[in-house]
Amino acid sequence: MVEAGGSWSIGITVKSYEAHFRAGIAPVLADGRREGAGWVLQAQILTEVQYLVRDVYEDGLDGTEKTTGLSGRLGLEASHWSRGTSAFTTRLSVGGMVPLRQDRGEDWNDYIEKSRDLHWAMDVALDLGIASH
C-alpha cells in the first residue's frame, strides 16, 4: 500500500505542520465482504518519510525548526467497501520518527532551549479516510 497525507496542530505556544509519504504491506486479517461490499480488517507495517515544521512562539520569541525524518508505523485498519471501488476507512496506529535532516532558524538557535530540539518523535494516531483499489 502507498499513501500520502498531512496534518497540522495549533497550541498555545507551538504550531506544527506535517506532510508524509508512506509505503508498506497491509495483510488482510479478516474479510467480511459479500459480492464486493462489506468490512475488511488489515494490519499495516509501513515505512514513512516525514517533513515536519514546528513554530514556537514564547516570551516574544519566534523560532522555527524544519525536520525531514524516517519513520516506522504499525496499525490496524478497518475498511467498509462499497460495491464499487471505494471504501470508508478508520485506522489506529503508532509510529516513531528519527530525524535525517534538520534546519533551525536563527531565533531558534539563539533563544529556544535546546531541550525543545526534536531528537525523535512518537505518536499515536486515529485516521479517517477514503481508500480505493
Full pLDDT tens readout for the chain, 133 residues: 898 988 888 888 788 999 999 999 999 999 999 988 999 999 999 999 999 998 887 777 778 889 999 999 999 999 999 987 899 999 999 999 999 999 887 777 666 666 677 888 898 999 898 888 7
Q: What is the pLDDT of residue 84?
A: 76
Task: Please name the residue that has the C-alpha cell 516513531.
Answer: 96
Predicted model pTM: 0.74
Predicted confidence at residue 100, as pLDDT, reads 94
Pick the closest to residue 75 from 41, 52, 99, 98 (CA basis).
41
Query: Pseudo-torsion of CA 42, 47, 48, 49, nearest 10°?
Result: -160
Domain region containing 96: 2-132
| Contact assessment for residue 39 and residue 82, using Cβ atoms and an 8 Å cutoff | no
- Percent of the chain past pLDDT 90, that is, above it, reads 53
If one counts the domains in the chain, the total is: 1
Per the CB < 8 A criterion, the answer to whether 84 and 41 are in contact is no
Cβ(96)–Cβ(121) below 8 Å: yes
> pLDDT value at position 111?
66
Tell me the C-alpha distance between 39 and 103, whole Å: 44
Read off the pLDDT of residues 22-31 as tens digits, 9 standing for 90 and up. Answer: 999 999 999 9
